[in-house]
Copies of this chain bind each other. A is one copy, B any other.
């Protein structure tokens, strides 16, 4: 073949390149700084999708991580921390156990506060070990990443991003204490935006609004124990004064795992992208075991039961109560439970160490979902249109349960106080009362009716930040105002001063004019008055 002639293999090559998509030629480099535990489970799907689009991805995690493991889609770089994986696992187990301890209220609060303090000190130490790991940090700095993708729930990722001077995309389910409002400068009126952990709806009574305001006022105090140490650490590492707000406002785009079928409508900001339900995307066929269970369930179908990845054991007396209730419904129950099987376990109840929750919920024979109402579970219930019995345990789970109950898509029970009969009744209600199925199907159809799938949207915005090196055109000027400027207090003060000055001058002029008219009389009186003193 002579040079310059057309080679038909070029066509094949061209087609191949075209089939691989435009991403191949744009492949960039991402640094992912995840938060361990259930937080990682939906982030990893985005990581996989980004890798498939031709990007190089490095994930950094402590060597004691419980959920973050080697994966084909990314390079995992572990760093040493001063604790073992078992120690971290123990903190999760204790968290689950604490829930079932029936202590008086005040004692529970104190216990929870101390637990949060201890656990967050442990996680902070991991972050500190990362930032002081000179070798790793230098290697990251030399890697020329395009973007940092991180969950700011523990704001270690934002410090890394600022240290490396890289644009940042946040991926999160929300932050406690309205810190996400602070970070995005999003207005958050306490009159109709229920505060996290308040269990308030959006239409509040007067007393609920009072409660909401009190929670709003105490939020800063509550969260400073976890978040302030990160600001100190950042100030040390970045060698400048850094506040928690400085760390959070560095997010170019906030990928928020929320959706208004669950959350109440409220103000948002242009750089907040809603990707709630992203965890429903991956579906795989059920294994033979689970298929067998479902097929054997007959016309009554199955009930899926899981208290999430962080709680798999519960006290025996509670397990027996639950087992008793489960035995009284005609459905087959698949229960994720790793503890000792309760002795009264009925035949219809199958204990499993792990279950493919989203795939099971997607099966047409699934009648109900017993869940701790963590955000992943609730979205999987909605995506698949399965009514829920909710046993919220801690964190945002009470709020999620409240929202689903308000919408008539499930029944909430207090796991500590409920009896066997309560659970049985709740299950029979959500299965037999058609309104629950109708409501969850309505939510499901609203939720899934969207112009872009959440996974595609997340990938789009990560790549957007890579292409444009941030998204400064979406950054509100509010970030550059002090609190009193933001609320226009200086302007209001100035205008009041002007008005008062004008009124004062007008008044003085009137007095002056009055004196001019009735001159001598006025002066005479004054002179007389001064003499009298």
Q: How far is the CB of A276 from chain B (nearest CB, A)?
A: 12
With both beta carbons as reference points, the residue of chain B lying nearest to A485 in the complex is identified as: B191
Judged by a CB distance under 8 angstroms, whether A213 is at the interface is: yes
Q: Given the complex of chains A and B, what is the CA–CA distance between A456 and B488 in angstroms?
A: 39
Contact at B265–A475, with CB atoms within 8 Å?
Answer: yes
Q: Given the complex of chains A and B, what is the CA–CA distance between A261 and B478 in angstroms?
A: 17
Contact at A490–B206, with CB atoms within 8 Å?
Answer: yes
Q: Which of A486-533 contact B (CB under 8 A)?
A: 486-488, 490-492, 494-495
Q: Given the complex of chains A and B, what is the CA–CA distance between A190 and B445 in angstroms?
A: 38
Contact at A486–B191, with CB atoms within 8 Å?
Answer: yes
Q: How far is the CB of A202 from chain B (nearest CB, A)?
A: 4
Set B202, B266, B478, B491: member contacting A213, Cβ < 8 A: B491
With both beta carbons as reference points, the residue of chain B lying nearest to A453 in the complex is identified as: B451
Q: Given the complex of chains A and B, what is the CA–CA distance between A452 and B475 in angstroms?
A: 21
Q: For residue A268, which residues in chain B have a CB less than 8 angstroms away from its CB?
A: 267-270
Judged by a CB distance under 8 angstroms, whether A83 is at the interface is: no
Judged by a CB distance under 8 angstroms, whether A279 is at the interface is: no
Q: For residue A451, which residues in chain B have a CB less than 8 angstroms away from its CB?
A: 451-452, 456-457, 460
With both beta carbons as reference points, the residue of chain B lying nearest to A214 in the complex is identified as: B495
Judged by a CB distance under 8 angstroms, whether A474 is at the interface is: yes
Q: For residue A261, which residues in chain B have a CB less than 8 angstroms away from its CB?
A: 473
Set B269, B481, B495: member contacting A192, Cβ < 8 A: B481
User: Taking the full assembly, how many copies of this chain does it contain?
Assistant: 2
Contact at A473–B270, with CB atoms within 8 Å?
Answer: no
Q: How far is the CB of A467 from chain B (nearest CB, A)?
A: 7
Mark each residue of chain A from 176 to 196: 1 if its CB lies under 8 Å from any CB of chain B, else 0.
Answer: 000000000011011110000
Contact at A187–B488, with CB atoms within 8 Å?
Answer: no
Contact at A189–B488, with CB atoms within 8 Å?
Answer: yes
The count of residues in chain A whose C-beta lies closer than 8 Å to any C-beta of chain B is 52
Q: How far is the CB of A464 from chain B (nearest CB, A)?
A: 6
Judged by a CB distance under 8 angstroms, whether A449 is at the interface is: yes
Judged by a CB distance under 8 angstroms, whether A106 is at the interface is: no
Provided the pairs A261-B473, A270-B260, A452-B452 are in contact, do residues A478 and B210 lie with their beta carbons within 8 angstroms?
no
Q: Which of A255-273 contact B (CB under 8 A)?
A: 260-261, 264-271
Contact at B460–A446, with CB atoms within 8 Å?
Answer: no
Judged by a CB distance under 8 angstroms, whether A203 is at the interface is: yes
Judged by a CB distance under 8 angstroms, whether A480 is at the interface is: yes
Judged by a CB distance under 8 angstroms, whether A9 is at the interface is: no
Contact at B192–A477, with CB atoms within 8 Å?
Answer: yes
With both beta carbons as reference points, the residue of chain B lying nearest to A208 in the complex is identified as: B491
Q: For residue A192, which residues in chain B have a CB less than 8 angstroms away from its CB?
A: 476-478, 481, 486
Q: Given the complex of chains A and B, what is the CA–CA distance between A474 and B262 in angstroms?
A: 11
27 inter-chain pairs at a CB distance below 8 angstroms, sorted by A residue, are A186-B267, A187-B187, A189-B486, A189-B488, A191-B478, A191-B481, A191-B485, A191-B491, A202-B476, A204-B477, A206-B491, A209-B485, A210-B494, A213-B492, A213-B495, A214-B495, A260-B270, A264-B476, A265-B269, A265-B474, A266-B270, A267-B267, A267-B269, A267-B476, A268-B268, A446-B468, A446-B473
Further pairs besides A191-B486, A209-B485, A261-B473: 8, Cβ < 8 Å: A203-B480, A209-B490, A260-B474, A264-B476, A264-B477, A265-B475, A449-B467, A452-B452
